[in-house]
Amino acid sequence: MAHTLYENHCTLTRGELAAELRHIADRLDAGTDLTYGIGNSEITVPVPRQVHRELEIDSAVDGDLSLDFAFHWAPTRRK
């Protein structure tokens, strides 16, 4: 059973979405951990060199589209 460590839902412009994805890509390229949240609710996500990626595109009856990315990996030990 999964335990949610952080969750965030918001409405973004295309530009804001691109900036958020670019920020994630830049951190991954730099080998830097991802961080989310503020203060006591901040979480750091160490991402290994290799991950499993899932991509799903759905169309709802009402015409709404969704593009879901999921990335999975086993936890790694830090030295």
Domain ranges in the chain? 14-72
pLDDT at 77: 65
pLDDT at 38: 87
- Identity of the residue numbered 42: E
Length of the chain in terms of residues written: 79
Q: Considering the entire predicted model, what is its pTM?
A: 0.81
pLDDT at 57: 98
Contact present, 56 and 68 (Cβ < 8 Å): yes
Could you tell me the CA-to-CA distances from 43 to 11, 14, 23 in Å, in that order?
22, 25, 16
pLDDT at 58: 97
pLDDT (tens digit, 9 = 90+) per residue, 21-74?
Answer: 999 999 999 999 999 998 888 999 999 999 999 999 999 999 999 999 999 999
Could you tell me the CA-to-CA distances from 4 to 17, 18, 49 in Å, in that order?
22, 25, 23
